[in-house]
Amino acid sequence: MTRLWNDPADFADEMIDGFVAANGRYVRRVTGGVARSTQTPEGQVAFVTGGGSGHYPAFGGLVGPGLAHGAAMGNLFASPSTQQVLSVARAAENGGGVFLSYGNYAGDVLNFDAAQEQLRAAGIPCQTVAVTDDVSSAGKDEIHKRRGIAGDLTVFRIAGAAAERGLNLDEVTRLARRANDRTRSFGVAFSGCSLPGADEPLFEVKEGHMAIGLGIHGEPGLGDAAIPTADGLAEMLVARLLDELPADVTSARGARVVPVLNGLGSLKYEEMFVVYRRIAQLLSEEGITAVDPHVGEYCTSFDMAGTSLTLLWLDDELEDLWDTGVDTPAYRRGSVDASQLVLASADEVAGEDVIGDADDASRAIAKTIADAFDVWRTTIDENVDELGRLDAIAGDGDHGIGMQRGIHAAQAAARDAASRGAGAATTLARAADAWSDKAGGTSGAIWGAILAAVSGHLGDAGVPSASALAQGLEAAKERVAAFGAVPGDKTLVDSLNPLVETFSARVASGGSVGDAWRAAADAATAAAAATSDMLPQMGRARAHHEKALGIPDPGAHSLALLAQALLSTAQ
């Protein structure tokens, strides 16, 4: 359990500050995370990683010569926002393009992909590889759906080594992809973890039992079993990984692998060494050579107790790269020639914040928007635990705190903009940016997109018409659809679409904005409730996800809550 914090809302930021204070030799603080304290050599590919905080040394602890050039550091267990990834990438980039790599989670994919698009639009070449090493998170035929866990380390090291050697962006990408193709992990967990300020652990594992294949944010695994002996666990981990050799590894016998026995936080070194003893024996018995074994904490989950075994199946090219020296706050290997490193200049200066013109009518709407965010903020604050509880059943339990971070940031930004004379469009756009930037994760990106889409139809002059609002909502629906979920996937789409369709239909048949919204809110509420009978999108194939039956989707539910709350301010 987590015990030390000041204001839980400040935890991630203060953690990054302390991390930088302790590691100024290695890293400097940039907006959105950290970059190396030394400049990326001109023309070298800048390798930027990132993800939610709470997994130290992933991701900031892995920034330094031979490994990453920067890390976007999101909130606890929440993806960094698109803006954070972009900001770190821009700080690290120096003419060689940007290589992005991260663990394969929906929120990270969304935000890293969006950052990649924006970098390319700005003329900066960019490629990404999402790490998919966790064999328990999807079948062999759906490897692209697998989550990334401690295999992050092996993929990142190959990418970092390739960049360090001056290979170009295509080569770095090819090699990182090859490392990912040849990296497999399998893990177990013995206990959950609790985030700062949370009353309860994110999840629990039955005493004396272990959850097999459980995710590093508590995502459901393959089932439970009694905790075996240390040797029994080693045998289970090795057997599962030898059961699925990477496609181009023809035989385990004679192979060379890098084994990484990773601790999740409070399983300790001594126990891991006892387990590794048997792993080493088993690999040797199978005729496999262990190269540079790793036993320690490389990708944690706060103080969760558990461990995973990762195998990187080497080939000559990968093994050659593996020898590259690395020097980062949390990970050092071999030696790095520090003589050629140049200190980076001070962090970029923030641009001036100018509010555009608006007329009085739009400014009045802006105040109403700010008032609406006040109400929304109260609504989410009152429901934060319940939303977390719903999310914990099939997801990672952070929906409540993610929504809370987003709504608090959006409310402050809207109030600030409105008080400084911004019009309706600008006020809502500021709220949208603040939401996606501070909330991070999937829901942060989606809510940012919804608000930004509506904002595009409000204007900063005059009172927007009912049909303009309907167009804005239709645009939001399209933006959200572009994220990939379809109706019936048990996502926010299931309540957003009925809301938008009902609103549009009422407006088209001459209804007032107030009446149309009332009907739309009711449609969203009914639809959110109906998600109780659906299986969740990500776990469709998994029988244990059936426990998510009977509870509404938390995203659909929070949309409905906010739609209802808005009735008290809409007219």
Q: Decide the pairing of beta strands 33-36 and 70-76.
A: antiparallel
Is residue 265 part of the contact set for a second copy (CB under 8 A)? yes
- Contact region with a second copy (CB under 8 A), list: 18-26, 112-120, 379-387, 530-538: 18-26
- Contact region with a second copy (CB under 8 A), list: 1-9, 430-438, 465-473, 497-505: 1-9
Positions 70 through 99 that interact with a second copy (CB under 8 A): 76
Q: Smallest gap, in angstroms, from Cβ of residue 6 to a second copy?
A: 5
The residue annotated as part of the active site, out of 217, 399, 457, 545, is 217
Is residue 56 part of the contact set for a second copy (CB under 8 A)? yes
B/e letters for 418-436, b = 16+ CB within 10 Å, e = fewer, are: beebbbbbbbbbbbbbbbb
| Cβ(151)–Cβ(178) below 8 Å | no
Residue of 250, 251, 335, 378 interacting with a second copy (CB under 8 A): 335
Residue closer to a second copy by CB (options 300, 491) is 300
B/e letters for 90-128, b = 16+ CB within 10 Å, e = fewer, are: bbbbbebbbbbbbbbbbbbbbbbbbbbebbeeeebbbbb
Q: Smallest gap, in angstroms, from Cβ of residue 237 to a second copy?
A: 11
Is residue 227 part of the contact set for a second copy (CB under 8 A)? yes
- Contact region with a second copy (CB under 8 A), list: 55-63, 106-114, 402-410, 551-559: 55-63
Cα distance between residue 384 and residue 403, in whole Å: 8
| Cβ(429)–Cβ(458) below 8 Å | no
**Known catalytic membership, residue 69:** no
Instruction: Check residue 179 and give left, alpha or beta (phi > 0: left; psi -120 to 50: alpha).
Output: alpha
Q: In sequence order, what are the residues at sequence separation of 6 or more whose Cβ sits closer than 8 angstroms to the Cβ of residue 532?
A: 549, 550, 551, 552
Strands, E assignment, 363-512: none
Residue of 181, 271, 371, 474 interacting with a second copy (CB under 8 A): 271
Residue of 131, 161, 275, 413 interacting with a second copy (CB under 8 A): 275
Q: Which two tokens stand for residue 254?
A: 């004679």
Is residue 11 part of the contact set for a second copy (CB under 8 A)? yes
Q: Given the structure tokens 């400040």, which residue do they identify?
A: 10
- What single letter denotes the amino acid at residue 503? F
Is residue 274 part of the contact set for a second copy (CB under 8 A)? yes
Residue closer to a second copy by CB (options 239, 247) is 239
Q: Smallest gap, in angstroms, from Cβ of residue 32 to a second copy?
A: 17
Torsion angle of C-alpha atoms 54, 55, 61, 66, degrees rounded to 10: -150
Positions 284 through 303 that interact with a second copy (CB under 8 A): 292-296, 300, 302-303
Active-site residues, by number, are: 217
* Sites of contact with a second copy (CB under 8 A): 1-6, 11, 14-19, 21-23, 25, 53-54, 56-57, 61, 76, 190, 196, 210, 227, 229-231, 233, 261, 265-278, 280, 292-296, 300, 302-303, 305, 330, 332-333, 335-336, 338
